[in-house]
Amino acid sequence: MINLEILHEHKQVFGLFAQQLTYPQKLDFLPLDIDDWLDSAAPAYDYIQKYWSLMQEYSLEQIEELYAQTFDFQKEATLYMTYFKFEDSKERGQMLVKLKIMYQMFGLDMPEQELSDYLPLMCEFIYAAEWRGNPHAARDFEVMIGVIEDGTYHLLQALEKWNSPYYNLIKAIRETLKDCIEQEANTHEHV
């Protein structure tokens, strides 16, 4: 189960995730103080530091090429989170509709040209949405976080294989989400 209060504490960093996972722009790579985005005790902190450090070794043109080669031309590294599980099946279409409806329920309209399982869009939603006090939030976020976890699992494996700097960014997302999962107490007594 997702702890929405902890997720709310991590909202800020999802804005950074969204920014860094969209096509690179010059403003995205200006000097960045990671401490403006998250606390040094945050589960994503070290991964973001490593990602940022690695990306500073590239020119903007090299980052653009790396981004395109990684996310646009590699089937294993798609940023569409339901693709790994459903590919182009009917179930994927149903999940895309479910996500789109969820965005609308929280007052956010999706860009017409984008699918609802696009990871930067999902991160932007977590960053921008206000879910506190919404009785449907826990259920809806469970579904979305499950989609992100499934999709980023496969994405992370591909990025690790290619030794991509983006590995650290995806690992940061996964660690942040992991921090938001409530561990169910063991209700069975050992005899």
Are the beta carbons of 164 and 98 closer than 8 angstroms?
no
pLDDT at res. 51: 94
SS3 state of residue 181: strand
Given a cut of 60, whether residue 188 has pLDDT beyond it is: no
**Is the pLDDT score of 191 beyond 70?**
no
**pLDDT score of 30:** 65
> Where do the domains of the chain lie?
4-179
Average pLDDT estimate for 5-27 = 91
pLDDT in tens, 44-68: 999 999 999 999 899 999 999 999 9
Q: 183 near 2, Cβ under 8 Å?
A: no
- The 3-state DSSP class for residue 139 equals helix
Rounded-to-5 percentages of helix, strand, coil across the chain: 65, 0, 35
Name residue 181's beta-bridge partners: 2
**Segment 115-165, tens digit of pLDDT:** 999 999 999 999 999 888 888 888 889 999 999 999 999 999 999 999 999
Q: What is the mean pLDDT of residues 157-180?
A: 97
